[in-house]
Structure 1
Amino acid sequence: MIIAQATLKHVNDLVPLFDGYRVFYRQPSNNEAVKTFLKERLTKQDSVIYIAYINEVAVGFTQLYVLLSSVSMSPMYVLNDLYIDANYRNKNIGTALINKAKALCKENHFKGIIIQTETTNPAQHLYQREGFVKDTDLMFFWTNA
């Protein structure tokens, strides 16, 4: 397995994975919008995306955004997206992507990593196994809908 930090040259490999991720969260498939969104993230460098390959096939990705903590006056990452192609699950790809995110966090001397996901997401076990602890203090959300 090879994990690379995504650049614009990886967009075409990311599109089907990111679209699959969105469909998993009950969003309509839209490859063109996905491509535009990913190109923006990579061009603006407002997120870090890691992509996992097995035998030159893109099999998973994770996307991190920077969040600032006013209380600790420290930056941290939000691991907002993690997705593994269904044909490649249970092969430690998620663990490898999380470990890459942890290494980046340590390298940049950030406070830690927050994971944003649905409470019913089956990956909850993966996150707990990888040392993430549920934080019951972070439980409100307002939407501008």
Structure 2
Amino acid sequence: MNQFNVIQANSTHIELIAPLLDSYRQFYGQTADLIQVQNFLYERLVKEESVVFIAVTQHNTFDCLGFTQLYPSFSSVALQRTWILNDLFVLPKFRNQGVAMALLNAAQDFAIHTKAKRLTLATAIDNYAAQKLYEKAGYTKDEIFYHYQLDVSIPSSNEFHS
């Protein structure tokens, strides 16, 4: 395995991150759309609406091995910032080589640096490999609260019936 570094990405790294984010979306059943992914990343990074860390090879910073994306949130109870670790993806050929753990560690260091109360994440119930990784990194499964979501997206024209 080549040695790698984890760095905080900025808008100059969009072309490195976009193919990985596009692959990550496809893993979750979305259609490939590299242009839309690039636009989405650009908006998030330029508006400082997310923080992205990327793992790059030491010898060539143009080889991106994986990424994680954090979104800011807040705890009204704790009166502190929290971070949502929304995305974590490592290219298949670089898995089980410490890349994902290094990205998780970078996210944790960043959360500590920003004086956050916590990092939160969610993963699929059947994603056992991710669950094992998160538990190894010190994350604990929430056994106290159920988490709910409500999809409020605007239906496409073929979905809307009056």
Structure 1 unaligned residues grouped into runs of 5+: none
| Corresponding residue SS for 1:27 | coil
Corresponding residue of 2:122: 116
- Which of these two proteins has the greater Rg computed from alpha carbons? 2
Corresponding residue of 1:143: 151
Corresponding residue of 2:46: 43
How far, CA to CA, are the matches of 2:98 and 2:104 in structure 1?
Answer: 10
**TM-score (structure 2 length as normaliser):** 0.86
Question: Which amino acid in the other structure matches residue 39 of structure 2?
Answer: T
Corresponding residue of 1:127: 134
Aligned-residue identity in percent: 35
Structure 2 unaligned residues grouped into runs of 5+: 154-162
Matched, 1:34 2:40: no
| Corresponding residue SS for 1:105 | helix
Q: Match for 1:14 among 14, 17, 23?
A: 17
Q: How many residues matched?
A: 145
Corresponding residue of 1:74: 80
How far, CA to CA, are the matches of 1:126 and 1:77 in structure 2?
Answer: 18
Q: What per-residue deviation string (whole Å, max 9, x for no partner) do you get for residues 58-89 of structure 1?
A: 01000001111111111110000000001110
Q: Match for 1:102 among 94, 108, 122?
A: 108
After TM superposition, give the deviation of residue 109 of structure 1 in Å: 1.0
Corresponding residue of 1:63: 69
